[in-house]
Structure 1
Amino acid sequence: MKYIRKPNIFIFLTLFLCVVVRGALLPASFYGAEFVTESYQIVLFVSKNIRPYVEAVDGLRDQLDKSIDADVEVIMLDRYTEKARADLADRVIGDSDVDLVAAIGPEAAAFVWETFQDAAFSRIYSIILNPEKVIGQIESVPGISLNIPPAEQLHVIHRGLSSVTRIGIFYDPAYNSDFYAKALEATFEIDVDLVPLSVSSKKDIPFLLEECWDSIDCVWLIPDRTVISESIAQYIIKQAVLKKVPVVGYNQFFYDSGAAMAFVFDYEDLGRQSAGLITDVLQQKASGARAPVFKVWLNETVLEKLDIEIPKPIELPMMVGP
């Protein structure tokens, strides 16, 4: 009579544990997969140590901390002499670990584009008005300007000041003929007329302003070297309020001076937007120029004086200002 030996349960458990432990200790590549977190080296050049740029840097770093693993070196360019800048450039070029160089402000962008033309790392710019005048061709260059598209501004004006149908725009053709042309094209999409208030000298403004009141019901002030100064802007706003005509400006100064509406930037928001662009460039998801994020403040006090109702509901980026 044959006896069948019962299997030793201890031996089976031992073999099972050996297999499990060995599997846990094997590298991920053994299974055909690599679980590696990419780490990036970023050098951030900043034009000046001033509040808007510092706020942008804070927003940028905060957003990058949430999105990618990146070591960010911040360099305030205004602290460096020409000789020190040259040494700095040599150090950055010689660092093979650098993945991307970013520039905040026009001076930083000019330095980065002139100094690192043939570098292996990527470049982006941010917080520059008319970047094409700083770095040249921008269509395929990743960056964020301070230029809100004219058509987008016009649509916002139309929504926020719906009773306005004739918008007078002060501009010098030498600087803003393209802006005017794009804004004019956008008027065909909405029920407004754009009235050109073309000037070549600040001396022309008081006379032109006095002549235009019968033909406009809104004044639109845009960044323009000839037209805009603090005194001229305040003069235009004061005269417009007396005529019960709303003024649209483009920063907090205009809002504080009595503009009915103002396009404003939150520089921390711009920094966060820049961080998003950096992430996309590093991960090869997107490139090219992007319009800036912005807010639109409605001046409730001024609108009440002009007997203009605030639209309801208010849609972002529009809001009642502080």
Structure 2
Amino acid sequence: MKCLDLFIYRGAFCLGLMLCTSLGLCLFQPPCLADGSSNGNDRIAVVISKKIKPYIQVGDGIQAKSEEIKLDVDLFILDPETKSIQDNVLHQLALTDYKLIAAIGPEAAVFIWAITSIQSPKIYTAILDPENCTGLPEHAMGIALKIPVEIQVKEISRHFENLGTIGVLFDPTFNQDFYDQAEAAALNHSFEITPIKVGSKTQISQQLQEHIGKIDAIWMIPDQTVISEKIVHYVIKQGIYQGMGVIGYNSFFTLSGAVFSFEFDYKALGSQAALKIKSFLESGQWTPDPPLFKTIVNQRMAKKLGIIVKK
């Protein structure tokens, strides 16, 4: 399966496991009432790909919001490498007539869409690139962990003053389309976008050196070639040496010295998913929405570099 979800990129950044008991999860036996009813609420199933912190937090957010909006939720944790657990989850899903089955993460999404014997509507969340997720149908509904490029450019413009040129570090094999969209979106703002193209990790140092003096900031995006803990630290250090800020896409970047990053509140994403599910069950219509996100400014580093970044 070739699903490029955000947590693959973040795996090198020490995303630890959380105990499933922190959610009080009903892993295998749905807590239905004795007569099989569910207090008159809609009952949904939520299948979590694996026990990593962001997925668990999304599930926590779905569960918490569902209590407010009168959805009954049964949560299951899938172990993609253990067939007996997968079989058990499949058996439990078949026991209850769920109004909807939701997947958190790519493994769970592929798992639920492969179940042809269950006709309940299905949705996904916490997948970065559903279009390239093998096993996920084109018509699949859900919330991708993908902030539209034009929105990212708008947020960068809103926060930064006096930026002339931003260099985007990326491998064209994976992110040429992202760059093209960013370049086009920047035409409506006060700065320019320029490419820092690399085809391998070994080209990063040379390409950065070639762009020193030509750019005012470095924008790092999720990219298979240029994303690792070691590379992030290296790029940020080079930026600091040259008085350039780095823009990243999660808290690891700001903690490592980037001046700005886009970040997800995974529990809030779960709440967003629960509200979308409730709306879909009531209307039968699914309207795609961008994921909720927040922006983080590292004012200490911005001040050190002499960069004006508005909150």
**TM-score normalised according to structure 1 size:** 0.80
1:41 is matched by which residue type in structure 2?
A: R
For residue 102 of structure 1, give the secondary structure of its aligned residue in structure 2: strand
What is residue 252 of structure 1 aligned with on the other side? Answer: 251
Q: Alpha carbons of 1:152 and 1:64: their partners in 2 closer, same or farther (altered >3 Å)?
A: same
For residue 187 of structure 2, give the secondary structure of its aligned residue in structure 1: helix
Q: Using the alignment, how far apart are the partners of 2:119 and 2:81 within structure 1? A: 24
Q: Using the alignment, how far apart are the partners of 2:284 and 2:293 within structure 1? A: 23
**TM-score normalised according to structure 2 size:** 0.82
Q: Alpha carbons of 1:252 and 1:132: their partners in 2 closer, same or farther (altered >3 Å)?
A: same
Structure 1: which 4+ aligned runs deviate by more than 6 Å? none
Shift, 1:198, TM fit: 0.9
1:223 is matched by which residue type in structure 2?
A: P
What is residue 111 of structure 1 aligned with on the other side? Answer: 111
> Is the contact between residue 141 and residue 286 of structure 2 (CA under 8 Å) also seen in structure 1?
yes
Which residues of structure 1 form unaligned runs of 5+?
1-36, 315-322
Shift, 1:208, TM fit: 0.5
Q: Alpha carbons of 1:296 and 1:59: their partners in 2 closer, same or farther (altered >3 Å)?
A: same
What is residue 190 of structure 2 aligned with on the other side? Answer: 191
Shift, 1:110, TM fit: 1.4
Task: Tell me the alpha carbon deviations over residues 128-178 of structure 1, each in whole angstroms, 9 at most, x when there is no partner.
Answer: 11112225455x532111111111111111111121120100111111111
Map 1:278-293 onto structure 2 (within 5 A).
Answer: 278-284=277-283, 286-293=285-292
Shift, 1:103, TM fit: 0.4
Q: Using the alignment, how far apart are the partners of 2:217 and 2:53 within structure 1? A: 32
Q: Using the alignment, how far apart are the partners of 1:115 and 1:162 within structure 2? A: 51
Q: Using the alignment, how far apart are the partners of 2:210 and 2:82 within structure 1? A: 51
Q: Using the alignment, how far apart are the partners of 2:254 and 2:210 within structure 1? A: 25
What is residue 227 of structure 1 aligned with on the other side? Answer: 226
> Is the contact between residue 168 and residue 196 of structure 1 (CA under 8 Å) also seen in structure 2?
yes
Shift, 1:91, TM fit: 4.2
2:72 is matched by which residue type in structure 1?
A: D
For residue 119 of structure 1, give the secondary structure of its aligned residue in structure 2: coil
1:200 is matched by which residue type in structure 2?
A: G
Q: Do residues 144 (structure 1) and 143 (structure 2) align?
A: yes
Alignment partner of 1:45 out of 44, 47, 62:
47
Task: Tell me the alpha carbon deviations over residues 160-210 of structure 1, each in whole angstroms, 9 at most, x when there is no partner.
Answer: 112112010011111111111211221221122111111110000000101
Identical aligned residues as a percent: 36
Map 1:7-86 onto structure 2 (within 5 A).
Answer: 39-68=41-70, 70-78=71-79, 81-86=82-87
Q: Using the alignment, how far apart are the partners of 1:152 and 1:137 within structure 2? A: 26
Which residues of structure 2 form unaligned runs of 5+?
1-38
Q: Using the alignment, how far apart are the partners of 2:293 and 2:74 within structure 1? A: 27
Q: Using the alignment, how far apart are the partners of 1:181 and 1:257 within structure 2? A: 28
> Is the contact between residue 141 and residue 287 of structure 1 (CA under 8 Å) also seen in structure 2?
no
1:48 is matched by which residue type in structure 2?
A: K
Query: What RMSD in Å do the two structures reach over aligned CA positions?
Result: 1.9
> Is the contact between residue 99 and residue 121 of structure 2 (CA under 8 Å) also seen in structure 1?
yes
What is residue 32 of structure 2 aligned with on the other side? Answer: none
Q: Using the alignment, how far apart are the partners of 1:65 and 1:79 within structure 2? A: 28
Map 1:266-281 onto structure 2 (within 5 A).
Answer: 266-281=265-280
> Is the contact between residue 221 and residue 250 of structure 1 (CA under 8 Å) also seen in structure 2?
yes
What is residue 126 of structure 1 aligned with on the other side? Answer: 125
Shift, 1:303, TM fit: 0.6
Task: Tell me the alpha carbon deviations over residues 255-280 of structure 1, each in whole angstroms, 9 at most, x when there is no partner.
Answer: 11100001111111111111111111
Shift, 1:214, TM fit: 1.9
Q: Which has the larger radius of gyration?
A: 1
> Is the contact between residue 142 and residue 277 of structure 1 (CA under 8 Å) also seen in structure 2?
no
For residue 126 of structure 2, give the secondary structure of its aligned residue in structure 1: strand
What is residue 169 of structure 1 aligned with on the other side? Answer: 168
Q: Alpha carbons of 1:79 and 1:216: their partners in 2 closer, same or farther (altered >3 Å)?
A: closer
1:187 is matched by which residue type in structure 2?
A: A
Q: How many aligned residue pairs are there?
A: 272
Q: Alpha carbons of 1:242 and 1:42: their partners in 2 closer, same or farther (altered >3 Å)?
A: same
